[in-house]
Structure 1
Amino acid sequence: TYIRGLKPTKSIINPPYETNNSFRFTQQALEYLEPNGRLIIIMPTPTLTQNERSGAVKKLLKTAQLDFVIRMPDDLFSEQGRTVQTSVFGFTKTPHRQGKKVLFYSLEDDGLVSVQHKGKLDRHNKWPAIEQQVLDAVINRTVLAGVSEMRDIFRPDGSVCSVGLPPKMQSVHGHALVRIGDLFDVAKGTLASEKAVSSGRYDFITAADEWKKHNAFEYDCEALVYAVAASGSLGRCHYVNGKFTASNLCLVLTPKKNGAMPVNLVFYQNYFAAARPKIVSALAEGTSKKTISAPRFLDYLIEYVPLQEQIGFSSRLDFLARVMKRLEGKIQKEKSRHQQLFHCLQCAPEDP
């Protein structure tokens, strides 16, 4: 064909996003490129993940190496009034060998501001420094804490994990990294949020910050309820102890029975809260409505902290909470006293 006759060595594409066109454009562009040619393509973040089960991604990686993935800001693109989460993918036309790591970079803020009728502008001159940091990371494969990291995309069994596998090593705190599924049994909540009963007796835990009520319960235990299918609340984690039911937008996590790694649920509720941005960034899929799949959540690696450390942390947290409550009570009393004094001053008779 004409394009192949030009013997292209570089290709930059912003393809249409609907009906898996992005992946087809990727395949076509790599087919046209000369050996060791480079492709940079921006497409919906979950594009590769959505083509894993069919084997299409594994086949693609036999001819192309995935060099980097830059996750773009959430508000970069909109399609038919919906926000589309996108990433920039960089490929080289050479087989991707197992053990070859991929740079994953999270560009949460590009420094640009939206201006009506003018699009996004660099009003505060932030982009040059941000651009340089991105280029340095891509070219030099620079690891930046909380921003970029090198990940394998092949599992030990040879299957593909397009979002990358967390490093299989100890955490920065010296604790072992284990699968969430090794610590918790997980069940899906069953009740739709609109089924709440305001006069109900039992807690109804949804993805929202505030709990609701229902007139029946499914669980009578200590558990964590983790939001996996509500974009604005994705990754929110509630601790509950007693009779409750859970929303179908959430997973219910209970400690493994007779597990070798016992857990304190108060500790891990706080752990999930602190790790929420990182977990959501790594696992969320979808374009306008992002979700976290249960299998990928169970495979995610987190720190296992020895039980006594968990208990010690939870005790200190409980102590701080009680101190804060007492301080808030004192502050409220002082506010009331000042209001009373002010009222008295206003009501005092003027001097004749």
Structure 2
Amino acid sequence: MATLPGALPATLLPIDTSGQDGKHRSQKPAGIIHSTIRERKTTKSHVNASISTALGVPLQTSKELERGTADRPARDCHSLASTAFKFHWQRISKKIGRPNLSSATIQLIKRIHKENPLLSPEKIHERLLTLGIEKSPAPNTIAKYLPTTRKPPSQKQVQSWKLFLSNHHHDLWATDFFTIPTIKFRVLYGLVVIHHQSREIVYFAVTTNPTAEWTIQQFRNATPFGKAPKYLVHDNDLIFCSKAFQSFLQSSGISSKKTAYRSPWQNPYAERVIGTVKRELLDHIIPLNERHLHSLLREYVVYYNNDRTHQGINGKTPIPSPVYLPTLAEDTKLEATPVLNGLYHTYKKAA
């Protein structure tokens, strides 16, 4: 078909967008309008993809959010704005602290530790430096990935705790639990309370099932008529750290002094007396039941407090022994009393 001079091509003819009334006609060519519609669709798809990527939701969900903005309640718009706000601050926020180690670095640290278990974190750090590894992690960071490695307490920490024990030993009690197997392979639990200054076993008890209520009752029995220490040293046992037991100590005017985790050296006297009871009694006699064990401990505690000497108190006994006049060995006559069916004996001078 020939085109008249000065006529527009068919693709550029104006189209009627006003409907049947013909009152308004668009002056845009049809080709330009189709191109504009395609551009708008492309732009819209890019916007939807950007929203989907930014919010971390599927593209369909982004379309639904965009399509239903005018119809949905205001709370949906608020939720969208809140999510976008969180995403914005996540991108601009910076992490504080040391950067995380890569998995390769962690595997290298564990390999060196496995092949050289005696190396400390400091030595592993130095070994990495000598191998020319850049950005070698600090010893403290290396120690986090070595579960068996524990940093020993500093000299200042040791001195501070020992100074506290020595300054308050006259007002200080220590307590701890220990286990005892019976001849029928049942497990019994013993509770011991010791006075720091005199090394006297103030109280002991035996049970098959220790609870916070039972422990509180034992301390009531150990502190009659206001006979209570100023401080009580104990470990991080769940019973000692329970709210009921701590409330009892507070109401009794006793200050709780918990030791650090995995630090039995901070409760030395309680740990030592438990070891003494096991070595000198329970390694030689197997208890039959709870009643038998209580009888054995009662007899041994009397011997321990009145007749067993302690190097920590200059070779004296926790409860002062009678003072005898000095005599020569050939002129001394002793009367022996068996303890625990002859396992030990106590002595006194005969007249």
- TM, length-normalised to structure 1: 0.20
- TM, length-normalised to structure 2: 0.20
